[in-house]
Amino acid sequence: MKGASILALEAGPRTREAVDGFFATQRFPIVEGNFITFVWRGDAEAVHLKHWVFGLPSSQQLTRVEGTDVWYRTLQLPPGSRVEYKLEVVRKGHGEWMQDPLNANTARDPFGANSVAHGTGYEVPSWIQPDPAAAKGHRDEIWIDSKTFGRRGFGLYVPARFLRSRQYPLLVVHDGHDYLRYASMATILDNMIDRLEFADAIVVFTSSPDRLREYADDERHAKFLTEELVPFVERLFPIDQEPQSRCLMGASFGAVASLSTAARYPGYFGRLLLQSGSFAFTDIGDRNHRGPLFDPVVAFMNRFRSDPAAVSERIFVSCGMYESLIYENRSLVPLLLSTGMDVRYVEARDGHNWENWRDRLREGLSWLMPGPFLHVYE
Amino acid sequence: MASVVLLGPQGTSPDVGAVLADLGITGKVGLVRAGYQERESEDADMIASLGVPAVNLKLHARSVEVFRDDTELTVAYQARQQRLRHIQAFYRVRLDKIEDAGKTISVRYVEPDLLEMEEKVSVDQYRHIDADHIERCNAVRSVFDMSWRFVDRPVIARHRDELRRELQGAEALVIAGGHVASLLNRLAMFDVLELVAGKPVIAWSAGAMVLTERIVLFHDYPPYGSDIAQVLDTGFGLAPGLVVLPDPHRRVNFDARAGIQRFARRMAPATCVAMDHGARIELEDGTIVRANGVRLTTTGEVDHDWDGSPSRFSSPFLRGVPL
């Protein structure tokens, strides 16, 4: 498979000047309709495209344009797609992973940064950009002395127009500091609250030093959230204590922690936002292919699947189509619906990454805890 | 002189001053900005746009004082509001089910005339559930009013005395937009319309909505994708027979003919009027005497040159749910 631009390059004189001209006139990776061409230039024994699109081979070799130092790989990329990737350049038998030097577009995550390719029609949402006109919420770091986990810090967001005389809903975010760092969540809250799309809410950003254990249906974690953290915040701020005004959210294992906490304390969190949940399960037996870290998740999900219950009221579920977890998330939705809970499910042509979770926040948060946009007519 | 004038959003080039001038109002007016809630007192630009002296009645700030000083009432009031919110949420769930049923039926491979009849059944169900919702809201308010008559509460009575004094000599009442529920509740708490009985009332956006019989919340482009219009509550009924939809260029999909048709039929026999900046409806004793706005019709067409003629609803299948 070759894009039109590569075909044109091959049809030309293949001189250094011609190749220089090719690089001077293109933006990389090259998007042509439903196709995308990744390009690298230089001497190497081999170049590989490394990506995290479930369903495609995770490593694909680039082809050299004969007589040049140009390497390319063309893939089909449906409209609206967003793909994170790296290049592996092999020299002297040694492979080096790198960001695409021709593409300045990157996405950060706790493990570093990846290059990002956008398919036709994908646009970075405008509402993630800081808006000078939007009032900024107040941010702080608070410490709690937990009987369960000892001393722990959590991030705090207080809306700009906060008044002691009002009652506020509460949003608790798993991996909260990562949501702030990699998903622009404070900016998104500022913008959405200013545009009346999200309720003026107190937001708590939790993080765990041992998330793979604590988020995997750990009784201690659920107890910490519901019996220590939330009551602690309720003592600090005027919080509406109705379930409809409490939302718990997270991505990946954080989504598992959200659902399992709700299952342990039904009706406590009336709103759940579950992004790309690691909802591994088995239909028979208890062995799963994802490894022992998932064993408690599988045990929880198998229990929940055998006896699903309305543990919350309203649940927003999102997942990327290019994630290996898409099957688990798609399977979860009819199960949740069968309980009578109000469920909204959204898929995107994206992967298991922070920008996918960022891009779904507006839709999820505004549906779960809408601001007064429906009531305000100025 | 017209008794009630409804306007579209004022935006950055307000026309309310011209309307007051047209009505021959040159003296003091009472201004309600309760829809702006905590921003109620930031009124300088708005008062300047009126072109006449104005006294901001500060109903929102007064309500804060009431809630602070009359704790018994506050507890009961908050419980009432919570109940109303739950009822609203349950009503909204039921609307979804009607929408889903209508969609499911609409794609069946049967005779077109049967589908058309089923569409009318769906509209009928919307009308029934809307009417039922209003009835339930009214019932909650009635129960509350029996135990907690606002006028009997000393702190409210004191504020009403102040308001009466502030409105002495006022030639009209001007009601700005903002948060429609907040506005409705504050106007009701202090029964301001009783204090200006017989005087012209000029209102825009949310202010216009609360003067109709039914307040309808709507948005065709919510951040979560799509939504169904929902009745919020009963208004004060000074502008009968109208459903007012302010700011339609941001909120209404005029191209969705089926949606327009269903909405207009759902609200019939009321006339649905989308009111952008510059729109105006004048009523005398509840009858429209002059208007310009955009009417949503029961055929799904959008009448951009509506001049105040009443809506005509022709479906023979409606069961006449009382509105």
Spell out the per-residue pLDDT of chain A, length 378, in tens.
Answer: 899 999 999 999 999 999 999 999 999 999 999 999 999 999 999 999 999 888 888 899 999 999 999 999 999 999 999 999 999 999 999 999 999 999 999 998 888 899 999 999 999 999 999 999 999 999 999 999 999 999 999 999 999 999 998 999 999 999 999 999 999 999 999 999 999 999 999 999 999 999 999 999 999 999 999 999 999 999 999 999 999 999 999 999 999 999 999 999 999 999 999 999 999 999 998 788 899 999 999 999 999 999 999 999 999 999 999 999 999 999 999 999 999 999 999 999 999 999 999 999 999 999 999 999 999 999
CB pairs under 8 A between A and B: 63
| B223: nearest CB among A197, A344, A376 | A197
Question: How far does B235 lie from chain A, in Å, by closest CA?
Answer: 14
Shortest CA distance from B229: residue in chain A = A374
**Subunit contact B206:A378, Cβ cutoff 8 A:** yes
What's the pLDDT at A110?
A: 83
Q: Could you give the count of Cα atoms lying within 13 Å of B5 in the half-sphere of its Cβ?
A: 26
Shortest CA distance from A161: residue in chain B = B38
**Subunit contact B224:A161, Cβ cutoff 8 A:** no
Which residue type does A20 have? D
| B225: nearest CB among A197, A363, A374 | A363
- The answer to whether residue A363 neighbours chain B at the CB level (below 8 Å) is yes
What tens digit of pLDDT does each residue of B158-204 get? Answer: 999 999 999 999 999 999 999 999 999 999 999 999 999 999 999 99
Q: Taking CB atoms and an 8 Å cutoff, what residues of chain A touch B100?
A: none
Cβ(B264)–Cβ(B119) below 8 Å: no
**Subunit contact A342:B93, Cβ cutoff 8 A:** yes
Q: Give the helix/strand (H/E) hosting A173.
A: strand A170-173
Cβ(B247)–Cβ(B276) below 8 Å: yes
Q: Which two tokens stand for residue B101?
A: 């049923």
What's the pLDDT at A286?
A: 76
Chain position carrying tokens 């922690």: A257
What's the pLDDT at B226?
A: 87
Enumerate residues 144 to 203 of chain A having a beta carbon within 8 A of any beta carbon in chain B: 161, 163, 165, 192, 197
Question: How far does B112 lie from chain A, in Å, by closest CA?
Answer: 32
| B224: nearest CB among A163, A367, A377 | A367
- The answer to whether residue A307 neighbours chain B at the CB level (below 8 Å) is no
Shortest CA distance from A364: residue in chain B = B224
CA of residue A284 relative to chain centroid, distance: 30
**Subunit contact A377:B225, Cβ cutoff 8 A:** no
Return d(Cα B254, Cα B258) in angstroms, integer. Answer: 10
**Angle at alpha carbon of residue A40, lines to A34 and A44, rounded to 5°:** 140
Q: Which residue has the higher pLDDT, A221 or B312?
A: A221
Instruction: Place B312 in a pLDDT band, splitting at 50, 70 and 90.
Output: low
Question: How far does B189 lie from chain A, in Å, by closest CA?
Answer: 19
**Subunit contact A375:B64, Cβ cutoff 8 A:** no
Return d(Cα B42, Cα B46) in angstroms, integer. Answer: 8
- The answer to whether residue A126 neighbours chain B at the CB level (below 8 Å) is no
Peptide bond into A308 cis (omega under 30): no
Q: Taking CB atoms and an 8 Å cutoff, what residues of chain B touch A367?
A: 223-224
**Subunit contact B223:A362, Cβ cutoff 8 A:** yes
Return d(Cα A368, Cα A373) in angstroms, integer. Answer: 14
Which residue type does A106 have? T
The pTM (predicted TM-score) of the whole model is: 0.94
Q: Taking CB atoms and an 8 Å cutoff, what residues of chain B touch A192?
A: 223
Cβ(A373)–Cβ(A199) below 8 Å: no
Torsion angles phi and psi, residue A236, rounded to 5: -85, -35
| B9: nearest CB among A364, A370, A378 | A378
Looking at every residue in chain B, the average pLDDT score rounds to 94
What's the pLDDT at A52?
A: 86
Alpha helices, DSSP H, located in chain A: 4-11, 16-25, 176-182, 185-194, 211-214, 219-223, 230-236, 253-264, 295-306, 326-338, 354-359, 361-368
| A373: nearest CB among B93, B219, B232 | B219
Q: Mutate which of A163, A164, A378 to disrupt the B interface (most B C-beta within 10 Å)? A: A378
- The answer to whether residue A242 neighbours chain B at the CB level (below 8 Å) is yes
Q: Taking CB atoms and an 8 Å cutoff, what residues of chain A touch B84?
A: none
**Subunit contact B180:A377, Cβ cutoff 8 A:** yes
pLDDT at B321 over 50: no
| Mean pLDDT (whole number) for B248-276 | 96
Residues of B with CB under 8 A from a CB of A: 9-10, 35-36, 38, 64, 67-68, 82, 89, 93, 176-182, 205-206, 209, 217-219, 222-225, 227, 232, 246-247
CA of residue A94 relative to chain centroid, distance: 32
CA of residue A1 relative to chain centroid, distance: 31
Which residue type does B13 have? S
pLDDT at B89 over 50: yes
**Subunit contact B227:A342, Cβ cutoff 8 A:** no
Return d(Cα B280, Cα B208) in angstroms, integer. Answer: 10
Sign, Cα dihedral of A163, A164, A169, A170: positive
| A377: nearest CB among B89, B224, B246 | B246
**Angle at alpha carbon of residue B238, lines to B232 and B240, rounded to 5°:** 75
Q: Which two tokens stand for residue B317?
A: 């299948």
Q: Which of B143, B38, B8 is nearest to B80 (CA)?
A: B143
Peptide bond into A132 cis (omega under 30): no
Beta bridge partners of A91: A94
Cβ(A251)–Cβ(A241) below 8 Å: no
Return d(Cα A122, Cα B66) in angstroms, integer. Answer: 51
Return d(Cα B244, Cα B216) in angstroms, integer. Answer: 8
Cβ(B210)–Cβ(B236) below 8 Å: yes
Return d(Cα B159, Cα B151) in angstroms, integer. Answer: 10
**Subunit contact B9:A375, Cβ cutoff 8 A:** no
Kindly calculate the radius of gyration of chain A based on its CA atoms and give it in whole angstroms. Answer: 23
Question: How far does B20 lie from chain A, in Å, by closest CA?
Answer: 19
Q: Which two tokens stand for residue A53?
A: 């699109």
Q: Taking CB atoms and an 8 Å cutoff, what residues of chain B touch A342?
A: 93
**Subunit contact B64:A165, Cβ cutoff 8 A:** yes
| B179: nearest CB among A363, A367, A375 | A375
SS3 A276: coil
Shortest CA distance from A340: residue in chain B = B93
Q: Taking CB atoms and an 8 Å cutoff, what residues of chain B touch A240?
A: none
**Subunit contact B222:A366, Cβ cutoff 8 A:** yes
Return d(Cα B206, Cα B218) in angstroms, integer. Answer: 12
**Subunit contact A376:B179, Cβ cutoff 8 A:** yes
Kindly calculate the radius of gyration of chain B based on its CA atoms and give it in whole angstroms. Answer: 20
DSSP output for A338-349: HTT-EEEEEEES
Enumerate residues 326 to 355 of chain A having a beta carbon within 8 A of any beta carbon in chain B: 342, 344
Which residue type does B269 have? P
Instruction: Place B2 in a pLDDT band, splitting at 50, 70 and 90.
Output: low
ipTM of the complex: 0.95
Those residues with Cβ within 8 angstroms of residue A247's Cβ, 6 or more apart along the chain or in another chain: A169, A170, A171, A172, A201, A269, A270, A271, A272, A273, A368, A369
The DSSP bridge pattern shows strands B242-246 and B271-275 to be: parallel
Q: Which two tokens stand for residue A145?
A: 């002395």
pLDDT at B311 over 70: no
Q: Which two tokens stand for residue B117?
A: 């009849």
Burial degree of A57 (CB within 10 A; 0-12, 13-18, 19+): exposed
